[in-house]
Amino acid sequence: DTSFVRGGAFDWQLWVRVIGQIIAIHLVNWILGYFVVTHDLHVGFSRKIAHFILYASPLLFYGVLGANSNSKTDTAWSSLASLVALFASIKPVRRRAPLLSLIPFMAYDRKEDRPHTIEWLALQTVQMLIIGFALSIYLDFKDGTPVLLAIPLIITAVGDGLAEPVGVVFGTHKFVTPAIWYKGKFWSGSFTRSLEGSAAVFTVSVA
């Protein structure tokens, strides 16, 4: 069942997981944004901490409250929670409630991402949803354990989450790479990355 009612009974655990995720993501982003604004916290660090919380929160809440028997349900609702937390900081909301919405937005708003900050983070979340659904369907077909759904979350949350801080602090070997899609063009743009940051993603992926 993919609804908030399971087996004829109200599924309070699913409600707590979804709402808890939204609150946790927004609260952490608010704290990070506050330190970016008032204490000059490097947005590269705050963004990756926010990135980690965005994708690690499903593991935390599922670990505490238990996962749904349907892995596709968990994937769908956790992705929805992440998207709701992101869209709470879209421009119309930021203009009307800057204290509640603009400050969290500052936690992940890099200059090089503007004006596509929310758009790109949402796209990444949708991509994770597609990957999660594909993996959950495969696991259902193979009678595999839903725990394996944690693999892409760990790679994204920990591996990619470490890439920018490692690159900022230790990244001495730089290289330039294009994006798969940038400004309406395939394999376009020019972005500087480091071998050290890329090695962090690779190490977590194969660990």
Tokens linked to 85: 């937390």
Residue whose tokens read 């993501």: 25
Residue 106 C-beta-side C-alpha neighbours within 13 Å: 19
Check residue 98 and report its DSSP letter.
I
- Give the global pTM: 0.70
Burial (CB count within 10 angstroms: exposed 0-12, middle 13-18, buried 19+), residue 168: middle
Please tell me the distance from the alpha carbon of residue 85 to that of residue 82, in angstroms, as a whole number. Answer: 5
- Nearest CA to 51 out of 109, 131, 126, 108 is that of 108
- Nearest CA to 201 out of 166, 177, 149 is that of 166
Per-residue pLDDT of the chain (207 residues; tens, 9 = 90+): 444 455 555 667 777 778 888 888 889 999 999 999 999 998 888 888 887 787 777 767 666 655 555 556 666 777 777 788 788 888 898 888 888 889 999 998 888 788 888 888 888 778 877 877 777 777 777 666 666 767 777 777 778 778 878 888 888 899 898 877 777 778 888 888 899 989 988 898 887
Q: How far is CA 77 from the centre of its chain?
A: 14
